[in-house]
Structure 1
Amino acid sequence: MKRRTLLRTAAGLAGVTAAGGAATAVRRGRNRYYDGPVSDHFDGVRFFNPGGSAPKGFSDLMRWRFGPKPTEWPASIPMIRPARPAERVQDLTITMVGHATLLIQMQGLNILTDPVWSERVSPVSFAGPRRVIAPGIAFTDLPPIDLILLSHCHYDHLDLPTLQRLKAAHDPQVITPLGNDAIIAGTGLRTEVMDWGDDIPFGPLGVHCLPCHHWSARGVTDRSMALWAAFMLTAPGGAVHFIGDTGFDQGRPYQGLGRFGPIRAAILPIGAYDPRWFMADQHQNPDEAVQGFLASGAAHGVGHHWGTIQLTNEGRDEPRDRLAEMLDRHSVDLSRFRAMEPAEVWQIPAL
């Protein structure tokens, strides 16, 4: 692992070996978000998954869009009782807000992952994928937010209106992978950027930036110009692993995690996986999520990225139902890995 200060020290160096194996000089001025050295996952303009798969192209997108119709979701699902979190929690409690937004309370800190309170996840407020259920915590009921973990810049994970609201109400710190700081600069949020392998302290926690298999874009001309990542939070009592989005990638996002000590909770995506020919490289399915959970050695799992916003073809409840089937298939007790619904609260058992 390397600390972010080491990355900054090396920021002016060129001639680093790229994925193809040839030493390549840094090409500056073509990436609108990030200007840094070539690495094993950055070619000087775009980030990529080493040994992995690039996102599908436009012709594949059209094949999907004009293929079988998605399973219809309900237009709305009532929010019976939003959660009202405690102001501070010393032990580990996780509350589902919706999609990839969760409140992690641990060590007296309040941490949000990929916060979205907007009605739609889209470049515009009047069109695009819309949430079918209200956030599991009303924005005004949030406890003081100390930290935001921002995994990548897709609209269902990086929502500028929500970040602006959080700045005004809580002024939290943001930790995010390279390049995403440029996208959120207008919010005024304090931002720390990390590369894969970096680690930084945040109060009593260690924050570690880890590889996962995905991509990024805010439009049609900025594909993979900002990095995507997973995070590990290390603390007394066990670590918390958060992946916002990932393809299974032969299990590589779950390899080598033992160095962080026992993992108390793994927060893993289980939805947006159908059709597999289009989604498999970038979105794991419930079976792969269970395989990753087992490979990581985590004691407990939280399934997210399902049931709030329809992005792909599977039905609203299918990821939850398939997760239960896969846990049974892999002989994992259902109590260890939950597909959490908005407003569901889980006080994670101690190791």
Structure 2
Amino acid sequence: MEDVAMDESLMAASSLSEDAFEKPTFINGKYGNPKSFLGWTGLPGLQLVWRYKRNKDLSNIPSSEQELNKALPLVEPKFNPDAQLEATWIGHATVVVTLDGATFITDPIWSNHCSPIMFFGPKRYRPPPCKITDLKKVDFVVISHNHYDHLDRSSVHQLEQQFGGGKDGLRWFVPMGLKGWMEKNGCRQVEELTWGEKKSITINSKQFDVHCVPAQHWSTRTGFDRFKSLWSGWAVVGPQHRFYFTGDTGFCKEEFVKIGRRLGPFDLAAIPLGCYEPKWFMSPQHIGPEEAVEIHKLVRAKKSIGVHWGTFHMGSHEPYMEPKLLLEEAVKKAGLDKEAFITVHHGETRNYSNSKSEEQFHK
């Protein structure tokens, strides 16, 4: 019997070892995607950039507010800080999630422009459905990387001012290399993690595990700091429910499989849909709807909502409503229930409290 128990223990250890997440490279002060990320071909060179600049932009974002209101309506959020599992899409990659009574935000941006200069750069064509002051509570924030459409200085300041301070004040979870920036901008409780690390926190006497997981992307804010901070996805595991946020990512299949095995099944995932055309330019760093559905399956998500579309013109060339349409086609083609992976209106709150994780999380 002891031999059998030992064999089972060794098999379990071997399985966990095989599912160990890849680590980013770190050479001469710069992070990088590992060689196993076969879809990562590096940032495009000048020739590809020139070709991209000459490529036809088919986004066709209307200038008419009336037309935009019809295509991408805003609804008033229905925040419930006591919900077991609900999510509200603010726009782009910003989602307000309440999970087992804890409320957190992914990549908060409420600003009208995502750039180093307030009135320039990519402009919002769909406004936020609420103000930060409308939020009832926020326990923590996860940041996937430092690009301006995911790390917004103004939103960081406002959230820290409203919810920060004290032992139980707002916590920030960021990839390696970003803690200094966060503290410089007034954030008082910052946890910096690399892929495969987790931090356990207690909220209302309940334990929540916040996991930093791999993503295929890159980082910069000034052009002179490329790759000096890491990028990541995040998984949040509560007493009853689990949530996964991919962050910005290209398609690194093996890591998504590992995320599903080690941390899934997820009750809810937020997966990006937009910024994928032209594919020969965007695919190393962004996915499209078909790949999003594949990720949904690989990470074993029960439900997913599409993010990273319909908010800013980020320089991608797909028609602005195409991500929604292609997602519906991809869900049908994959044989999934049409409610398994959806898009929601800006401000729409979806409640998933009836979902509950059934499998034990691998410690």
Match of residue 225, structure 2, among 222, 226, 246 = 222
The 2-side partners of 1:175 and 1:210 are apart by 12
Which residue in the other structure is 1:253 paired with? 256
Which residue in the other structure is 1:140 paired with? 133
The 2-side partners of 1:111 and 1:168 are apart by 16
Deviation by residue 1:311-342 (Cα, 9 ceiling, x = unmatched): 11112211011000000111011111112221
The 1-side partners of 2:74 and 2:248 are apart by 28
Which ranges of structure 1 fall in alignment gaps of 5 or more residues? 1-38
Match of residue 350, structure 1, among 345, 350, 355 = 355
2:196 partner letter: G
The 1-side partners of 2:224 and 2:257 are apart by 31
2:172 partner letter: V
1:42 matched to 2:26: yes
The 2-side partners of 1:285 and 1:81 are apart by 26
Which residue in the other structure is 1:8 paired with? none
Give the drift of 1:302: 1.2
Pairs within 5 Å for 1:1-351: 40-51=24-35, 52=37, 53=40, 54-75=42-63, 76=65, 77-78=68-69, 80-86=74-80, 88-171=81-164, 172-189=170-187, 190-203=189-202, 204-311=207-314, 312-348=316-352, 349-351=354-356
Query: 3-state SS of the aligned residue for 1:184?
Result: helix
Give the drift of 1:71: 2.1
Give the drift of 1:275: 0.4
Which ranges of structure 2 fall in alignment gaps of 5 or more residues? 1-22, 165-169, 357-363
Give the drift of 1:43: 1.4
Higher relative contact order by CA 8 Å / sep ≥ 6: 1 or 2?
A: 2
Query: 3-state SS of the aligned residue for 1:63?
Result: helix
Give the drift of 1:136: 2.5
Give the drift of 1:139: 2.0
2:318 partner letter: E
The 2-side partners of 1:81 and 1:338 are apart by 16
8 Å Cα contact 2:264/2:299 also seen in 1: no
8 Å Cα contact 1:84/1:137 also seen in 2: no
TM-score, length-scaled by structure 1: 0.85
Query: 3-state SS of the aligned residue for 1:255?
Result: helix
The 1-side partners of 2:151 and 2:350 are apart by 24
The 2-side partners of 1:73 and 1:256 are apart by 35
8 Å Cα contact 1:178/1:227 also seen in 2: yes
Which residue in the other structure is 1:28 paired with? none
Give the drift of 1:213: 0.5
8 Å Cα contact 1:92/1:104 also seen in 2: yes
Deviation by residue 1:54-100 (Cα, 9 ceiling, x = unmatched): 222343223211221242112343454321412x1240000000000
8 Å Cα contact 2:74/2:346 also seen in 1: no
The 2-side partners of 1:256 and 1:150 are apart by 18
8 Å Cα contact 1:302/1:338 also seen in 2: yes
The 1-side partners of 2:273 and 2:258 are apart by 18
1:66 partner letter: R
8 Å Cα contact 2:179/2:190 also seen in 1: yes
Give the drift of 1:251: 5.0
Which residue in the other structure is 2:5 paired with? none
Query: 3-state SS of the aligned residue for 1:309?
Result: coil
The 1-side partners of 2:260 and 2:338 are apart by 23
8 Å Cα contact 2:143/2:174 also seen in 1: yes
Identity across matched positions, percent = 30
Give the drift of 1:176: 0.5
Name whichever of 251-260 and 157-166 sits farther off.
251-260
The 2-side partners of 1:306 and 1:80 are apart by 14
8 Å Cα contact 2:157/2:185 also seen in 1: yes
8 Å Cα contact 2:24/2:31 also seen in 1: no
Give the drift of 1:256: 4.3
TM-score, length-scaled by structure 2: 0.82
Q: CA RMSD in A?
A: 1.6
